[in-house]
């Protein structure tokens, strides 16, 4: 079963696409708090903070996957907004596709610690860039200040350090901080435009 890994959930063997995943950033309603996970795996993420998420299982949509992962990791059932996609080569040298979601709910303060990776609520402005996965330097501010209709595509190339290229929906590629045609946030074209 090339490109697939087996894992056990709820005592039932399920199969996941090894290169397809979801990540979600659960903010408070006013975006002054964000619920993050201190990662234990994969190895290249160990010790760093990242969003809620994981692999998309066979037969699941990306919406199904983020909802399942959120419940499994936090006990929360919250409304997610699909805001982007990342694709390319990861720090482990493997190709990947990751769907990006955001949520805005006061329910984040009621999370339950359900798995071995530690959950904690942070002030997103005070996050230390040395303790987060590199692309969170962009993804967290994007969730705090971006327009909800904006959809982004982040492309990762093998000849650059991951998270150095941003591919705007208009097709322009630029440094992670801004699209030269549309600006930092709010300028990216929405999926429906």
When pLDDT is cut at 50, 70 and 90, the band that residue 168 belongs to is low
Residue 172: inside a domain, yes or no?
no
Quote the mean pLDDT of the chain.
79
Kindly report the pTM of this predicted structure.
Answer: 0.75
pLDDT at 41 over 60: yes
Nearest to 183 by CA among 129, 147, 135: 147
When pLDDT is cut at 50, 70 and 90, the band that residue 35 belongs to is very high
CATH assignment of the domain containing 13 = 3.90.79.10
When pLDDT is cut at 50, 70 and 90, the band that residue 183 belongs to is very low
Residue 187: inside a domain, yes or no?
no
Number of domains the chain contains: 1
Interval 96-107: pLDDT, tens: 899 999 999 999
Residue 66: inside a domain, yes or no?
yes
pLDDT of 162 = 41
Nearest to 55 by CA among 96, 8, 16, 3: 16
Contact partners, residue 58, CB within 8 Å, separation at least 6:
4, 14, 15, 16, 17
Write out the residue range of the structural domain in which residue 9 sits: 4-154
Tell me the average pLDDT across 112-125.
97
Interval 45-99: pLDDT, tens: 999 999 999 999 999 999 999 999 999 999 999 999 999 999 888 777 788 899 9
Residue 166: inside a domain, yes or no?
no
Cα dihedral 118→80→21→181 (10° resolution):
-110
* Gap between the Cα atoms of 58 and 42, Å rounded: 20
pLDDT at 174 over 50: no
């Amino acid at each position: 079963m090339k490109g697939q890994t087996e894992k056990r959930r709820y005592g039932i063997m399920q199969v996941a696409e090894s290169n397809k995943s979801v990540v979600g950033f659960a903010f408070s309603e006013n975006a002054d708090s964000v619920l993050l996970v201190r990662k234990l795996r994969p190895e290249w993420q160990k010790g760093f903070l990242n969003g809620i998420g994981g692999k998309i299982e066979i037969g699941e949509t990306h919406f199904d996957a983020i909802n399942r992962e959120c419940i499994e990791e936090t006990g929360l059932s919250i409304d997610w907004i699909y805001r982007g996609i990342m694709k390319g080569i990861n720090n482990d040298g493997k190709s990947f596709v990751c769907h990006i979601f955001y949520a805005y709910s006061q329910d984040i303060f009621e999370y339950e610690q359900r798995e071995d990776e530690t959950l904690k609520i942070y002030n997103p402005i005070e996050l230390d860039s040395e303790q987060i996965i590199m692309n969170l330097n962009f993804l967290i501010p994007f969730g705090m200040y971006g327009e909800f209709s904006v959809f982004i595509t982040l492309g990762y190339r093998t000849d650059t350090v991951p998270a150095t290229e941003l591919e705007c929906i208009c097709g322009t590629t630029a440094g992670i901080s801004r699209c030269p045609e549309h600006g930092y946030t709010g300028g990216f074209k929405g999926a429906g435009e």
